[in-house]
Amino acid sequence: MKQLFYLSFWFFQTRFLGKKKPLQTVLFISDECNLACKHCSVYNHTNPHRKTFEEIKEELIYSYRLGSRFVDFEGGEPLMWKDGEKNTNDLIDLAKEIGFFSTTITTNGQFPLTACKADSIWVSLDGLKPYHDEIRGKGVFDKLCKHIAESNHKALSVNMVINSINYHSVRETIEFVKNNPSIQSISLNFYTPRTLEEDPLFLDWEKRRELIDEIIKMKKEKYPIMNSISGLKYMKTNEFKKYCWITNFILPDKSRFDTCPMQHIGVCERCGYCMAGEMTSVFHFKLETIFSAIKLRMK
């Protein structure tokens, strides 16, 4: 009840009074990673940044004071994070003590998930085995499936980033999710280039539009797709007003951004993050999106 009150108040302040106040935080706790995925640049195998517990505590308090109430622990691989005796579960407890409503971890699924205390777990799944392993490395898919099957977590979903390698696997991956009792839903994103250069992983717009039409069709057929229909429609052209300041970001090098850091690189036109469209849908009061966001975040 208290949480619903806060959310209504936040909506009123931001939508009607024009206040720019984040509701969620993407907090990179390190850039240490055990993989080197083809589409990702957030890993540092030679000299990784590893934040201490105290540094993360300070960043959580800072974000909470800005107004944020949902935190996603990101990396690198967040499940590799340690500071002395402390591990990611201590960060989750800490976030809850500070007052965050809900915590999320985004992981590559290469470590056991049974002990993970996050309210929701997002496992990255970039297609079925041949595609996932081509992007993330040999044997990664099988390990991920094993850890998902053993996890027993009530809110585990998968996150797919569609690119020019794996776009053929979208339908079968959604089918796989539907038939896997350990997975709640799938969120579908498109690869976002990190520079303004030509990028062979970027999926061309025509294929993107065709795929989104197919995803919308599957969503209407009740496949467990997290994206809302209005959010998906926005992603077809990317020509919509964005409200990415709803999330604040703190990067592995501790730099703080009050909106998506990619905005500063100027790649928003080719953005493929579904959250951009979802946030716009929430802001335009699309009830379907609001209800699915509440369902996803609040228990």
The Cα 296–Cα 40 span in angstroms is 25
User: Cβ of residue 194: shortest distance to ligand SAM, in angstroms?
Assistant: 6
| Per-residue binder mask for ligand SAM (CB under 6 A), 174-203, x = binder | ---------------x-xx-x---------
The Cα 153–Cα 111 span in angstroms is 14
When the beta carbons of 141 and 191 are compared against ligand SAM, the nearer one is 191
Residue 120 in contact with ligand SAM, rule: CB under 6 A: no
Residue 106 in contact with ligand SAM, rule: CB under 6 A: yes
Residue 277 in contact with ligand SAM, rule: CB under 6 A: no
Residue 247 in contact with ligand SAM, rule: CB under 6 A: no
User: Cβ of residue 212: shortest distance to ligand SAM, in angstroms?
Assistant: 16
When the beta carbons of 159 and 184 are compared against ligand SAM, the nearer one is 159
| Binding segment toward ligand SAM, per CB under 6 A, in 53-61, 103-111, 215-223, 243-251 | 103-111
User: Cβ of residue 39: shortest distance to ligand SAM, in angstroms?
Assistant: 5
The Cα 35–Cα 138 span in angstroms is 10
User: Cβ of residue 135: shortest distance to ligand SAM, in angstroms?
Assistant: 8
Residue 39 in contact with ligand SAM, rule: CB under 6 A: yes
Please report, as ranges, the residues that interact with ligand SAM according to CB under 6 A.
33, 39-40, 42, 74-75, 77, 106-108, 124, 159, 161, 189, 191-192, 194, 272
